[in-house]
Structure 1
Amino acid sequence: MTKETALNHTSDSSLNSDTSNEAHFHADHYDAVPLDLSGVTEDAVSRQISRIQSRRSKDTDLEQQVQNPIPDLEPAEIEKVNSISDDPKFNRFPASKKKLYVAVASLSCFLSPLSGLSFLPAVPEIASRFNTSGEVINISSAVYCIFMSISPCIFSPISDIYGRKITFIVCSFMFSVSTILVAVSVNLAMFFIFRALTAIFGTSFFSVGAHVVADLYIPRERGACMSYIICGAQLGTAFGAVIGGIIVNYTSWRVIFWALAGIGFLVCVMAIVLLEETSVETRHSKILKEAKKTNPKKKFVLVPINPFRIIKALKYPTLVIDGYITISLVFNMYSLLTPIRYVMDPRFNLTKPVYSGLFYLAPGLGYLVGSLFGGKWADYVVRKYQKKRGRRVPEDRLRQTYIPLGFIYPVSILIYGWSVEKEKGGMAVPIIFMFISGLAQTNIFPASNTYCVDSMPELAGDAIGSSYFTRYLAAALASAVCLKSINKIGVGWTCTYSAALLWIGFLCAVYLVKYGEDVRVNSLIKNGLRKPEEFESIK
């Protein structure tokens, strides 16, 4: 196999630098993003550069420069980069700085779930303030989730165009401003509008954080790093509602949002002081470099953003199937968390928000603990099957989801729901199985998220962005219908339907592991991103 062919595939180059088979892996693995395909997700960049070139009426042969993902390398140097582990872009920062940047991204992901869940124990008080019902306030959670799904469509391409750091700074600052306006809301419309804006800005860190991981680490290291990103989000999930319950028990619900605004400003300062730009070269810098050849004083060019590009990534079947897995997880998560106060207060005769708020600790701590080793487990599975195959197949990562998705999570949901419905087992049973369900969920997320990142590098950040888009639509649906479902058919049957969604997700994971590689590569061939002979070379 030629080195050129090796550059056109997406498998990990080597298992460990000290293994005796390293040379074999370098020859037989296909990891780097295809040099002649990277421009596929940069249509707007190419068109804008073409316009600049035509005005200058010079043939600069820029197309080759724009498409090269490793700027300023000569063809002879490119020939040396025969695996992704050798790619110099992954060695631009020392290991200590990489960890620091992932830590900043992880803490930034704390904002959105903290904002989304901390107000739940205060729903009755907020409903009373605006003379409405708890169901209407829970609809604000649905609206919040809808705008969470919109966020990656906007900020994933913005981070590709203008850079990760500026996106972090702008979003954290605007999150805080929007949260302050929620805190001072004088009517329900104002509350809804600015809650939606906090969702747009706060959720951006999930997809941009995944980009940061992809900028810094090779695929076989990404699962563990993605766990840290998810861990930041789960800190918000674990403690958000507890903090909200304590605050609303002793003071006003508005204090919740003032506290959130302060945390947002802290994240903004961290991004300014600690975070460097992790992109090798932003699309804006490519266009600006060309524009300066005509106008050396030019400092900025406006690059158009296409938010629908994220949605277009869903034409690839493997992303849709993997997306359903995350949909089933998020639907269960929000179905479990949103109605806790309405379910637990009457079940256990709880009279204070702080008591029901403590119930959020059980799934939250499960999320936190699971996120600490879920990604490492997925990386281990990838390495194990890489040894067996002699090459890395991204779908192997999903084998790790079989036990938590096919058994632990759905069974935990069933036991939780029916123990509450039938009033069996006291507080211990629902608390234990809420914890186990959270543990199982965040054993699945790192594998699914990382699969989006490294299975289709041709799509850049669009793959993970499409996943976040679909999963938060599911969260919106769950937030809107869970309380009505519980009121109509009870907690037990609501959880039974949720468990059924998880079992369908398990079948999706099995399908991807068995047939996903064929489906994925064939869809890339169909859309012109691969050549048939490249697929034949790995069969």
Structure 2
Amino acid sequence: MKNNNPDESMHLEDVLPKTQMNDYSGDEEWPSRSMQDPRNWPSWKKNAHILMVAFHSMMGTFMAAGIIPAYDTFAEEYGVSVPQASYFTSFQILLLGLSPLIWNPITAVYGQYNVSILSVLGSMVCNIGGARCTSYGAQMATRVLTAFLISPPIGNGSGVINKLCQPEKRAQCLGIWALMTTIGTPAGPFFMGFVIKHIGVQWIFWIFAIINFCQALLYLAIGDETTYNPENERETEAFYGKLIPRRISSHQLELRDFLAPFSLVVYPRVLVAACAHAITFCYGNIAIIVEMPIAFGEKFHFDAQQIGLQFIAVIIGCVLGEQVSGRMSDWFLSYLRQKRGHSCPADRLWLSYIAFATIFAGLLTWGFQLQNAQEWNVTPCVGAAIASFGNQMQTTILTTFAVESKKDRAAEVGIFVNICRQIYGFLGPFYFPDMFAALGLGGAAGVMVAIVGGAALLPVIAVQFVATRTPTLQESQEEHEG
């Protein structure tokens, strides 16, 4: 939106440096003149909040998956089977998907800062309880409560990042958030495998609690409210005042506020991107991670630490995939703008086909090589790394496409994508053991590739074909203004 008011321009120059003002050309609104508006923050503060939100999101998946190497220990300690012990993770996956439905409306009224403080402190208390549990039911209760409390940024992280970063860096910033959320899944069992072997399973929860405490200190030290409401602008307050929760909006919560993300099903671009991401993430990430302890533990008789080391492959694949997807996606759109004078969010989907190809190759390599291995060798891990590379690429590209397709509801888009991913992922561990037992690792990998191809790749091709020929009203306005 262009600004033709010379008085307002003069005021904005007093607040923003020229380089920052130029970042808000085109489709972005001018920031307010208040320094409480996150768009007026210095770059270091914006980047710090993006990293804090990304790390907070990572802790949700990190804590859910961190207990995976301890399934055998839990089964013995609580007198249950290993599949029953795996439900500790399954139910956390489900809660990480559904809880943001509750947290997002609360965040809109009480602010992201207050909710984040409550989130990490509440999670810390539950993790302390987890270290002291002596029964299966009590441990399940602490895991469910922890997942509920730690989940807010998994849903609203995309909205926070959408406010803090500039359009030309949006995919890169969303990619950092997506990478951190994804990498928590393999990083949890990787690090906790060492903990279980050397200092005991209870220290999993003590370490979780210590991390939560450090997060709380960081929020108190440099954290600030990322939701700006000019009608409720607060005065500068002392440090202890940040501990007192207060409303940032006079809006009264209603039932429809909690169900609002589901209304996004009427937008085909968001729906297809969310469902394709959910299916691909389930088989390109969750299936490999859930099966890793069972396959390597039973086939090669690995202990918790040795199983944890196998997750290095998944971590490497995720990190490399993000280096390609975030920067390349932003560069590709910039290149198209220079070459043909315009671009649209659907142009990002061209790069998603690289992601699907590597997922197919990685899954098949992982499945068949692991099935045929008589003793441990690196080839199944190479397959897992290739699949993780593609999975991270599609996570960043499809999430960014969904957010840019409905930028005015970015936070709700993030929640909707997360709901689809977590619910579909929650169902996986219930049928994965039977599928691998009946078809073998190679046959199951083939089935997963077929599902991803038919239920994820083909719909993405269709939505790109339609989206590049029928731009939305918002895209037409942006192109005209640009």
Shorter-chain TM range is: 0.7 to 0.9
**Does the aligned pair in 2 maintain the 1:90–1:218 contact within 8 Å?**
no
Q: Given residue 129 of structure 1, which amino acid in structure 2 is its aligned partner?
A: E
Q: Given residue 157 of structure 1, which amino acid in structure 2 is its aligned partner?
A: P
Q: 307, 313, 317: which is aligned to 2:258?
A: 307
Q: 183, 186, 197: which is aligned to 2:134?
A: 186
Q: TM-score, normalised by structure 2?
A: 0.84
Q: Given residue 149 of structure 2, which amino acid in structure 1 is its aligned partner?
A: F
Hey, what does 2:378 align to over in structure 1?
428
Hey, what does 2:71 align to over in structure 1?
123
Hey, what does 1:166 align to over in structure 2?
114
Deviation at 1:132, TM superposition (A): 0.9
Q: Counterparts of 2:230 and 2:443 in 1: how far apart (Å)?
A: 50
Deviation at 1:519, TM superposition (A): 6.7
Report 1:284-323 matches (<5 A). 285=232, 300=247, 303-305=252-254, 306-323=257-274
**Does the aligned pair in 2 maintain the 1:317–1:519 contact within 8 Å?**
no
Report 1:189-338 matches (<5 A). 189-281=137-229, 285=232, 300=247, 303-305=252-254, 306-332=257-283, 333-338=285-290
Structure 1, unmatched stretches of 5+, are 5-16, 34-68, 74-87, 288-298
Q: What RMSD in Å do the two structures reach over aligned CA positions?
A: 3.1
Distance 1:193 1:520, change over 3 A: farther
Distance 1:398 1:229, change over 3 A: same
Q: Say whether residues 1:342 and 2:299 are aligned partners.
A: no
Q: Say whether residues 1:456 and 2:409 are aligned partners.
A: no
Deviation at 1:473, TM superposition (A): 0.4
Q: Counterparts of 2:158 and 2:3 in 1: how far apart (Å)?
A: 28
Which secondary structure state, in structure 2, belongs to the residue aligned with residue 109 of structure 1? helix
Q: Counterparts of 2:99 and 2:162 in 1: how far apart (Å)?
A: 19
Distance 1:158 1:70, change over 3 A: farther
Distance 1:401 1:90, change over 3 A: farther
Structure 2, unmatched stretches of 5+, are 5-17, 235-245
Q: 466, 482, 491: which is aligned to 2:416?
A: 466
Q: Which stretch shows the higher mean deviation, 382-391 or 408-417?
A: 382-391
Hey, what does 2:464 align to over in structure 1?
513
Q: Counterparts of 1:2 and 1:169 in 2: how far apart (Å)?
A: 38
Q: Which has the larger radius of gyration?
A: 1
Q: Given residue 414 of structure 1, which amino acid in structure 2 is its aligned partner?
A: L
**Does the aligned pair in 1 maintain the 2:270–2:405 contact within 8 Å?**
no
Q: Given residue 305 of structure 2, which amino acid in structure 1 is its aligned partner?
A: V
C-alpha distance after superposition, 1:173-198 (max 9, x if no partner): 11112222222223222222221121
Hey, what does 1:484 align to over in structure 2?
434
Q: Counterparts of 2:124 and 2:305 in 1: how far apart (Å)?
A: 25
Distance 1:365 1:90, change over 3 A: same
Deviation at 1:517, TM superposition (A): 5.5
Distance 1:360 1:387, change over 3 A: same
Moved over 6 A (4+): 1-4, 69-73, 533-538
Deviation at 1:343, TM superposition (A): 0.5
Q: Which stretch shows the higher mean deviation, 463-472 or 188-197?
A: 188-197
Hey, what does 2:238 align to over in structure 1?
none
Q: Counterparts of 1:176 and 1:421 in 2: how far apart (Å)?
A: 40
Q: Counterparts of 1:236 and 1:375 in 2: how far apart (Å)?
A: 18
Q: Counterparts of 1:156 and 1:397 in 2: how far apart (Å)?
A: 27
Hey, what does 1:385 align to over in structure 2?
336
Q: Counterparts of 2:137 and 2:470 in 1: how far apart (Å)?
A: 46
Q: Counterparts of 2:110 and 2:151 in 1: how far apart (Å)?
A: 18
Q: Which stretch shows the higher mean deviation, 367-376 or 461-470?
A: 367-376
C-alpha distance after superposition, 1:18-50 (max 9, x if no partner): 9xxx9xx97xx6x247xxxxxxxxxxxxxxxxx
Distance 1:187 1:507, change over 3 A: same
Distance 1:464 1:129, change over 3 A: same
**Does the aligned pair in 2 maintain the 1:325–1:508 contact within 8 Å?**
yes
**Does the aligned pair in 2 maintain the 1:154–1:307 contact within 8 Å?**
yes
C-alpha distance after superposition, 1:273-303 (max 9, x if no partner): 11222223289x389xxxxxxxxxxx75573
**Does the aligned pair in 1 maintain the 2:274–2:399 contact within 8 Å?**
no
Distance 1:489 1:217, change over 3 A: same
State the percentage of identical aligned residues: 17
Q: Counterparts of 2:155 and 2:306 in 1: how far apart (Å)?
A: 34
Q: TM-score, normalised by structure 1?
A: 0.76
Q: Given residue 464 of structure 2, which amino acid in structure 1 is its aligned partner?
A: V
Paired residues, number? 447
Deviation at 1:147, TM superposition (A): 0.6
Hey, what does 1:501 align to over in structure 2?
451
Deviation at 1:172, TM superposition (A): 1.2
Q: Counterparts of 1:134 and 1:479 in 2: how far apart (Å)?
A: 12
Deviation at 1:373, TM superposition (A): 3.6
**Does the aligned pair in 2 maintain the 1:416–1:433 contact within 8 Å?**
yes
**Does the aligned pair in 2 maintain the 1:412–1:433 contact within 8 Å?**
yes
Q: Given residue 252 of structure 2, which amino acid in structure 1 is its aligned partner?
A: V
Q: Say whether residues 1:146 and 2:94 are aligned partners.
A: yes
Q: Counterparts of 1:258 and 1:157 in 2: how far apart (Å)?
A: 31
Distance 1:479 1:272, change over 3 A: farther
Distance 1:536 1:397, change over 3 A: closer
Deviation at 1:225, TM superposition (A): 0.9
Deviation at 1:229, TM superposition (A): 1.6
Q: Given residue 144 of structure 2, which amino acid in structure 1 is its aligned partner?
A: A
**Does the aligned pair in 2 maintain the 1:381–1:399 contact within 8 Å?**
no
Hey, what does 2:8 align to over in structure 1?
none
Deviation at 1:157, TM superposition (A): 2.6
Q: 345, 353, 356: which is aligned to 1:394?
A: 345
Q: Counterparts of 1:251 and 1:235 in 2: how far apart (Å)?
A: 24
Q: Which stretch shows the higher mean deviation, 473-482 or 423-432?
A: 423-432
Q: 349, 354, 358: which is aligned to 2:305?
A: 354
Distance 1:238 1:369, change over 3 A: farther
**Does the aligned pair in 1 maintain the 2:347–2:468 contact within 8 Å?**
no
Q: Counterparts of 1:174 and 1:438 in 2: how far apart (Å)?
A: 32
Q: Counterparts of 1:347 and 1:204 in 2: how far apart (Å)?
A: 38
Q: Counterparts of 1:313 and 1:447 in 2: how far apart (Å)?
A: 19
Deviation at 1:150, TM superposition (A): 0.8
Q: Given residue 207 of structure 1, which amino acid in structure 2 is its aligned partner?
A: G
Deviation at 1:223, TM superposition (A): 0.7
Q: Counterparts of 1:282 and 1:426 in 2: how far apart (Å)?
A: 61
